[in-house]
Amino acid sequence: MRFLKISKTLFTAAILLTITSRISAQNTNTEVSQDPKFEQLLNDKRKSNPNLSYSDRYKIQIFNGAGEGAKKALNEFRLEFKNIDGTIVFNTPNYKVWVGNFRTRMEAERNLAEIQKYYKNVFLIKPSK
């Protein structure tokens, strides 16, 4: 009977020791090395996200069509107008390029007149949800 108690105690101690060693084995430090291109892709995804927060500001739409055309139009726009920011917005099935973030309609129309010298089918919009 005494032998059974000792073996039971040893067995319990062995189990507890095994569990304890496995628990302590889980404490490791992991370093993640991230490719810088990943951050760029993430930013591009955020820019083309259809759930953009819309504001009460005016924007100018310079393109409406396929994705590659939208990227090309935005890149060309950024070369011509370095002081005006632009973004690509996806509304099924088309991509739209919106530029500017104008507080007043007058400010937006001034910039619209300047942009119309380079682009034909541009118009002023005030995005809504």
Q: List the single range of 22-31, 102-111, 113-122 with lowest mean pLDDT.
A: 22-31
| Domains, the chain | 52-125 (3.30.70.1070)
Res. 60 pLDDT band, cuts 50 70 90: very high
Q: Does 49 score more than 70 pLDDT? A: no
Mean pLDDT, residues 108-121: 91
User: What 3-state DSSP class applies to 9?
Assistant: helix
CB atoms within 10 A of CB 91: 9
Residue 69: Cβ-neighbour burial (10 angstroms; 0-12, 13-18, 19+): middle
**pLDDT tens string 65-82:** 988 999 999 999 999 999
Q: Where are the beta strands (DSSP E) in 1-129?
A: 58-65, 86-91, 94-102, 123-125
